[in-house]
Structure 1
Amino acid sequence: MYDMSTRKRTLALVAQGHSLNSVSKATGVSRAAIRSWQIDIEPRKRAGLPCPRCGDTPGPPGDQAAYSYLLGLYLGDGCINAHRRGVYFIRIVLDNAWPGIIDACEAAMRAVRPDNSVCRVKKQGCVAVTASSKHWPCLFPQHGPGTKHKRKIALEPWQQTIVDSRPWEFIRGLIHSDGCRITNWTTRLVGGEEKRYEYPRYFFTNLSDDIIQLFTDVLDARGVEWKKANSRNISIARRASVALMDAHVGPKY
């Protein structure tokens, strides 16, 4: 622990142009401590883009296509956690098997908050795409304590307007996080011979009834036929509907 006079004297040496290494040797204060004092006592000023939701007249994010996609990813495999000084971290956890989706997630985060840095935290078998901002709860008001399937999830009117105008980006985000495109097969007897038939199908899986409802509502609006495989699985198997999904979503990559 150091008193305030030591802190000020140390920071004064840094302000005079001395290196952290030389100041540390002269004062006996570690470089890590000096760096933390620079943040606490003399914070750097950074010009950041204003939050579109925090102005006198709240508006939508600038890149609504990127936001709709990121919203789908967040509702599927995302979370927002509070940090110190009012900063929040958004994390979208994605499988290492899909590097293209990881890239798309990072690009969407950067588009939604261009002045905030984005990083990738490697975990076993997956990557957490992460970005910090004071405004993630403004942009994703679904944020709250506990898991999503144990609390009410509903879109704000301004979010619904974005989803209505950018539905396929929202669908793509949900599929990229909690969905898949698979190839099923079956056999039939044709002329006494057993033949194998293959057909593609999309699945979306989520524990939240509210998120499933959001997904199926936007499918209905785009003319995509679906069925409930069970209480938490939505299946899209009709040929015309799969063709629509292939045109706008496609397999994971």
Structure 2
Amino acid sequence: MRFIRLKTLLISFLLITGLIFFSAAGSHAVPTLQLDIAGGTYDNSTQTIVATGNTFTLYAYLRPNFCNTITDTYFISAAIAPKVGKAGADIGSFNFNGTTINATGDMTYGVPPLEDIARLQGWDQGDLPKHGIFPTYFSEFGFSFNSANQINPYNTQNRAISGGSISMSGRGMYYAAFTIDTSLLDPNYVLHFDLYNTKLKGLDVDVTQFAPFSHDAQSTAVPEPSSLLLLGSGLVGLWASRRFFI
């Protein structure tokens, strides 16, 4: 009987120890794909890494595995948020690594990935989950990682929460850097970035792997409605005071 009790206690101890270990490891795990922004902070409400200015460097990261190799083609989607309806709108432009994109005239409506056949652009189970962003207008940019560009692996969410800087040294995680400029985009909208790779399933393009949504990135935050109201009130007050003293 004593042996059985000791065995039960030992099993319980091992289970608890294992749970603690895996919980700690999980909180510091480095995803296969993730995004980061130089100087970016973490928005807990949207669980997204957010830029602090209109011009910034967006980093895409890869830790290769059997299904996601450095020879694959990867994609970043830049999506308009809040959602813009299918009718579209003229909300300025943005620049992605030297390419100017008119929003929404040069963009595609729907859910990534970009389909080869337009009628398949509507969402299906193989597409990127909507996660509160899609359907909206988005642009997709394909790229490959360079084996010479490596740094020490780190968790981008943890870095953004802690406010630390990005160390561009070491080996073990591949990176690609992109310069983004949203200064000409309507300030009531932002760009939301997703990272993924794809495969062709029949005629349909499907996502095979994507960065966790907690490791996504976004340009500067959309002003709160109350902030816009205060700004408007301030401008009206300034105009009135100027008129009064003229």
Please tell me whether Structure 1 or Structure 2 has the larger radius of gyration of its CA atoms.
1
> TM-score w.r.t. structure 1 length?
0.24
What is the TM-score with the length of structure 2 in the denominator? 0.25
More strand by share: 2
